Structure 1
Amino acid sequence: MSAQHPEDIRSYQQVARAIEFIRAHAREQPGLETVARAVGMSPYHFQRLFARWAGISPKRFLQVLTRDHARSLLLEHGSTLEISHELGLSGPSRLHDLMISCEAMTPGEIRSQGGGLSLRYARAVSPFGVTLLGWSERGVCHLSFEDEDSDIPQSARVSPGSGTNDGLVPGCLRSLLPAAGWIEDRDGAQDLVRRIFSGFAIMGANPAEPAHGVSAEPHKEKKDHRIHLLLKGTNYQVKVWEALIQLGDRPVVSYQQLARGIGQPGAQRAVASAVASNPIGWLIPCHRVIRQQGEFGQYRWGATRKQAMLGWEMASRR
């Protein structure tokens, strides 16, 4: 998969290296030329990289990746987090020019560990590195990130090859639904990634026809594309994940604010555990949960990737 999109992967890797350099030299506050030199690029090509990857200048991107800016966003949006408890899992929420809706697996499906379910999976290239996706006609059930910046153990990575051989199914998908049938679908995964990340300049032209779990009205603009999520988790986890989906355009939220939003102030640790267990990255925006003082904190798929995601979102706010 990576050989098909080497430029896209390289772009993210260079952005990630720049973020890592800035984080390591935060006290010196390195300028643009210094950062460009650290990643082996001229200032001109560094500017072009960010214009292609995010559609913004590196100066603007680096300006928003500060603790003070993150803390100001927390204060700007106040301590109140409006979460609708009446909509349940049928209520859509706009995120990244998509309409996101979700449903939870039934207790019977969870007890059977996915027995009787037919799902598809594959790796695909995204603006944040290689993704691993799992989905069915009912919706997306897994989206993780799989390159060297990821915290996923080697045993959970995709084995080389393709087809329906059960031995090729990644460990993280096998553990998610051990009894489900998995079929590799690379074209479907790449199509789905184009739709999920359609707001990125790097993803190029208009997305193709919908993959499984995705529908779109051809006469509508891309902002009306819908993606449905199929969630497997405890009632508490699903409650937290649904709250994250309902963040909408809110750029960041603290663990304390999220706990209050679901009606359980003081349950920051339980909320943090549910956030860390999120199986659907980006679409369930657990990367937006930061510490109260503005520190970005850790991320299941790498702290650098979290900063890349937040930087793109913050700098792209209209």
Structure 2
Amino acid sequence: MEKSQELINYERIASAITFVQQNFKSQPSLSQIAEHVHLSPEHFQRLFQEWAGTSPKKFLQYTSIQYAKSLLSKTEQTLFQATFQTGLSSTSRLHDLFVKIEGMSPAEYKNGGRNLKICYAHYSTFLGQIVIASTEKGICYVAFDNEEQGSLQELIKKFPNALFSEEERQEHRSVLSFFEKNWSNIQEVKLHLRGTDFQLKVWEALLKIPTGQLNSYQQIATQIGQEKASRAVGTAIGSNPIAFLIPCHRVIQTSGLLGGYRWGMIRKSVLIALESAQLNKAADEII
């Protein structure tokens, strides 16, 4: 399958971020980073600006521990958030608000999806290949994976008794709109999830983290009334079956370290940086 230009650009940015994370002590220059991804400094600068809406320098700052800590401790309301809440913004909606969760019934959960028809298909996005699957009640699975068979096997393991059909569905297109980096005109997506009551509570808490902000595992535990269950919260987050839409990438350690991410730490860094850059860009435009 031929790679899209957006996917090629994502891979270049991911490679650049990896390079910076491995060499941050030497503070690599724009020219050094550009050379690593085999681009001229001018081209590299333009690519970052077009992709993230901000400069490479600021973008890379957004992936640092220092910036993560500032987001984690931020409690005051930003100008952009205030503007959004008064209905004045129409360009960067908090897309989490457009997702609803419906847990599977106890019978559906127990029998491993018997009598469920699951339609799935693979798609190319700027963050890599994804597989999207749905039942008649909603989206049940979204996962990043460059190995299509690996994604499918994980899905089958979750629903061993379901009937699988490889076919594209309209609800899949709604999910894809979330990957277009423009959340001003997205549609509501309903999720049909298999999980325990505790997992569903954790996943719902993730949906309440605003775009461009971060929470710690401890903060999530407190929000669901389980202050001493931060480790269990981490396990529930690690089993999140809906990549990006349920934003587990917005949860980091209290220390400011990014912690784990089932779809790769570079992808988590890119997502945090992209959302932070987009939020700050929108705030600058309002000012």
| TM-score normalised according to structure 2 size | 0.85
Residue type of the alignment partner of 1:114:
G
**Residue in 2 aligned with 1:110?**
109
Compare 279-288 and 244-253 and name the one that shifted more. 244-253
Q: Does 1:257 align with 2:219?
A: yes
Displacement after TM superposition at 1:190 (Å) = 6.7
**Residue in 1 aligned with 2:161?**
179
Name the CA shift for 1:241/1:249 in 2 (closer, same or farther; >3 Å).
Answer: same
**CA–CA separation in structure 1 for the residues paired with 2:216 and 2:151:** 35
SS in 2 for 1:76: coil
**CA–CA separation in structure 2 for the residues paired with 1:307 and 1:189:** 28
Q: Does 1:64 align with 2:62?
A: yes
Whether the 8 Å CA contact 2:175–2:189 is kept in 1: the answer is: no
**CA–CA separation in structure 2 for the residues paired with 1:130 and 1:30:** 30
**CA–CA separation in structure 1 for the residues paired with 2:16 and 2:232:** 33
**Residue in 1 aligned with 2:89?**
none
**Residue in 2 aligned with 1:315?**
277
Structure 1 counterpart of 2:43, from 27, 30, 45: 45
Name the CA shift for 1:55/1:307 in 2 (closer, same or farther; >3 Å).
Answer: same
Displacement after TM superposition at 1:286 (Å) = 0.5
**CA–CA separation in structure 2 for the residues paired with 1:177 and 1:189:** 19
**Residue in 1 aligned with 2:83?**
none
SS in 1 for 2:113: coil
SS in 2 for 1:197: helix
Please give the residue correspondences for 1:84-95 in structure 2 after superposition, counting only pairs within 5 Å: 95=94
**Residue in 2 aligned with 1:132?**
131
Whether the 8 Å CA contact 1:258–1:271 is kept in 2: the answer is: yes
Please give the residue correspondences for 1:234-245 in structure 2 after superposition, counting only pairs within 5 Å: 234-245=196-207
Compare 117-126 and 283-292 and name the one that shifted more. 117-126
**CA–CA separation in structure 2 for the residues paired with 1:29 and 1:287:** 26
Whether the 8 Å CA contact 1:98–1:196 is kept in 2: the answer is: no
**Residue in 2 aligned with 1:208?**
none
- Cα RMSD (Å): 2.3
Residue type of the alignment partner of 1:247:
I
**CA–CA separation in structure 1 for the residues paired with 2:199 and 2:32:** 43
**CA–CA separation in structure 2 for the residues paired with 1:249 and 1:193:** 17
Compare 178-187 and 288-297 and name the one that shifted more. 178-187
Whether the 8 Å CA contact 2:125–2:179 is kept in 1: the answer is: yes
**CA–CA separation in structure 2 for the residues paired with 1:303 and 1:295:** 11
- In the alignment, structure 2 segments of 5+ residues that lack a partner are 77-92
Please give the residue correspondences for 1:180-259 in structure 2 after superposition, counting only pairs within 5 Å: 180-186=162-168, 191-200=173-182, 222-223=185-186, 225-249=187-211, 251-259=213-221
- In the alignment, structure 1 segments of 5+ residues that lack a partner are 79-93, 148-156, 160-167, 202-220
Displacement after TM superposition at 1:189 (Å) = 8.0
SS in 1 for 2:33: helix
**CA–CA separation in structure 1 for the residues paired with 2:58 and 2:12:** 17
Please give the residue correspondences for 1:269-284 in structure 2 after superposition, counting only pairs within 5 Å: 269-284=231-246
**CA–CA separation in structure 1 for the residues paired with 2:135 and 2:55:** 38
**Residue in 2 aligned with 1:158?**
148
Give CA-to-partner distance per residue, 1:138-158, whole Å, 9 cap, x none. Answer: 2111111113xxxxxxxxx42
**Residue in 2 aligned with 1:30?**
28
Name the CA shift for 1:280/1:97 in 2 (closer, same or farther; >3 Å).
Answer: closer
Whether the 8 Å CA contact 2:211–2:276 is kept in 1: the answer is: no
Whether the 8 Å CA contact 2:121–2:167 is kept in 1: the answer is: yes
Name the CA shift for 1:250/1:169 in 2 (closer, same or farther; >3 Å).
Answer: closer
Give CA-to-partner distance per residue, 1:167-226, whole Å, 9 cap, x none. Answer: x9810110111111121125758734531223349xxxxxxxxxxxxxxxxxxx615x21
Whether the 8 Å CA contact 1:77–1:250 is kept in 2: the answer is: no
